[in-house]
Amino acid sequence: MQDSEFYAKRGVSSSKKEIHAAIQNLDPGLNPGAFCKILPDTLSGSDDHCLVMHADGAGTKSALAYVYWRETGDLSVFKNIAMDSLVMNMDDMACVGAVDRFLLSNTIGRNSFFIPGEVIQAIIEGLNDAVKMLANYGIHIDFCGGETADVGDVVRTLMVDVTMTARIHRERILDLDNIEDGDQIIGLTSFGQAAWEKEYNSGIGSNGLTAARHDCFDKSYAEKYPESFSPEIPESSVYCGSGKMEDLLPHTELNLGRAVLSPTRTYLPVIKEVLHRFPTQISGMIHCTGGGQTKCMKFGKQIHYVKDNLFPIPPIFNYIQKTNNYSWKEMAMVYNLGHRLEIFTKKDQVSDIIQIANDFGIEGQVIGHCRKRNVEGNKLSIGLNGDTFEYE
């Protein structure tokens, strides 16, 4: 599968082929088919438990938060960036069964010419607020501190990253190699307003933000904030949209800036309850982050993923698609397009799992199913806006 062209021209790879090639000879861990690498519990020496450690962050979304703050003076967007960096770790870890007792450490790289202490304070407060919110849902995270580095020679504005660790009982590990013929795919919406969210969430998450930033907003931001992008990006691909930060995103109550900066939704309270109710009936879970709707192709063995009942496309993705008349096939390679968590299970559990999600204010529905293939490799078929797109 090729990289999306509108993503690649900005120095970003949606498939990360070079990265996967670089790590292909590393130890795959105890469960090579799991969504995250599983390690033996070398800290306690327990044979019954294992460890998961994960590092990720908010990516280039922080550059947009910087521009929005400079335009509006609104520091709260950096609290959302803190949530983004947290969710990109813990929700990946939840997909292998880690749902409680996390250790958290953060790393902030800033260019101190542009990022003052009040921004750092907002990020730390955002992490603390998220930890307290999750505690209300029985999810415990110990904040172990972190590092703020002044690296202006490397970082143009700001990078916000997190590392998390958790311990899991080996019998509770979710391994996507267990996906079987006939498994149903339940999708949980990325948009709307979950029980723990303070306002409507556009659903964009933290992937494809380099493209979204430049495609949604106009050239005036390049002129005012040249530090917010790489000078190596072709001039024609820099802030080449027509939008302003405070323009209203059609069919929502959010301005365009806040819509693109909507915090990445965590599904952890839902996942914890699902695994409590159905500890052995879930074949696997996929967090549709890097690669968007094509993320599933990296997991499972000889599976044809058929996604033929997606949610209606949320306004933010329709807006991005129209900016440069992108093909929906390309859009699906970068963005989640409306659901960012997939749960693979048998038909017997479907209605109960959807009800659990609904109880937390999140819509769920069967968005497709799995078929076993007789040839090597996985395949994906997506039904979208009346067309069917194939990926192999």
pLDDT tens by residue, 353-392: 999 999 999 999 999 999 999 999 999 999 999 999 999 9
pLDDT at 16 (0 to 100): 59
Enter the tokens of residue 219.
């050239």
* pLDDT band for position 14 (cuts 50, 70, 90): low
pLDDT at 15 (0 to 100): 56
Is the pLDDT score of 212 beyond 70? Answer: yes
Do residues 270 and 356 make contact, with C-beta atoms less than 8 angstroms apart? yes
pLDDT at 23 (0 to 100): 64
Sequence-separated contacts (24+) of 38-46 with Cβ below 8 Å = 38/96, 38/168, 38/173, 41/167, 43/167, 44/167
Mean local confidence (pLDDT), 74-80: 97
Domain boundaries, the chain: 5-391
Cα separation, 179 vs 198, in Å, equals 35
Cα separation, 206 vs 168, in Å, equals 26
Least confident of 4-13, 142-151, 294-303: 4-13
Enter the tokens of residue 202.
């556009």
Enter the tokens of residue 127.
């992490």
pLDDT at 95 (0 to 100): 98
Mean pLDDT estimate for the chain = 95
Cα separation, 287 vs 348, in Å, equals 22
pLDDT at 273 (0 to 100): 98
Mean local confidence (pLDDT), 72-90: 97
Closest CA to 230 of 47, 382, 9, 68: 9
Mean local confidence (pLDDT), 143-150: 94
The residue type at 97: G
Cα separation, 124 vs 250, in Å, equals 32
pLDDT at 47 (0 to 100): 94
pLDDT at 11 (0 to 100): 65
Mean local confidence (pLDDT), 246-263: 98
Mean local confidence (pLDDT), 204-215: 96
Q: Over the stretch 232-243, which tens digit does the pLDDT of each residue have?
A: 999 999 999 999
Closest CA to 122 of 64, 164, 82: 82
How many Cβ atoms sit within 10 Å of the Cβ of residue 61?
31
pLDDT at 27 (0 to 100): 86
* pLDDT band for position 26 (cuts 50, 70, 90): confident
* pLDDT band for position 57 (cuts 50, 70, 90): very high
pLDDT at 6 (0 to 100): 60
The stretches of the chain forming alpha helices (DSSP H) are 5-8, 17-23, 61-72, 76-94, 117-135, 209-216, 220-224, 256-260, 268-277, 315-323, 328-334, 347-359
Round the CA-based radius of gyration of the chain to a whole number and report it.
20
Q: How far is CA 193 from CA 103, 128, 203, 252, 264, in A?
A: 27, 21, 10, 12, 12
Mean local confidence (pLDDT), 17-40: 83
Is the pLDDT score of 17 beyond 80? Answer: no
Q: Any bridge partners for residue 141, and if so which?
A: 102
CATH 3.90.650.10 at 5-391, yes or no: yes
Mean local confidence (pLDDT), 225-250: 96
Q: Any idea what the Cα angle at residue 109 is, between residues 108 and 113, rounded to 5°?
A: 120
Q: Any bridge partners for residue 391, and if so which?
A: 380
Enter the tokens of residue 274.
């699902």
How many Cβ atoms sit within 10 Å of the Cβ of residue 192?
17
Is the pLDDT score of 268 beyond 70? Answer: yes
Is the pLDDT score of 116 beyond 80? Answer: yes
12 sits in the region (left: phi over 0; alpha: psi -120 to 50; else beta) called: beta
Whether the pTM exceeds 0.75: the reply is yes
Cα separation, 253 vs 198, in Å, equals 13
Mean local confidence (pLDDT), 44-52: 96
Q: Over the stretch 297-345, which tens digit does the pLDDT of each residue have?
A: 999 999 999 999 999 999 999 999 999 999 999 999 999 999 999 999 9
Phi, psi of 51 (to 5 degrees): -120, 150
Least confident of 25-29, 202-206, 293-297: 25-29
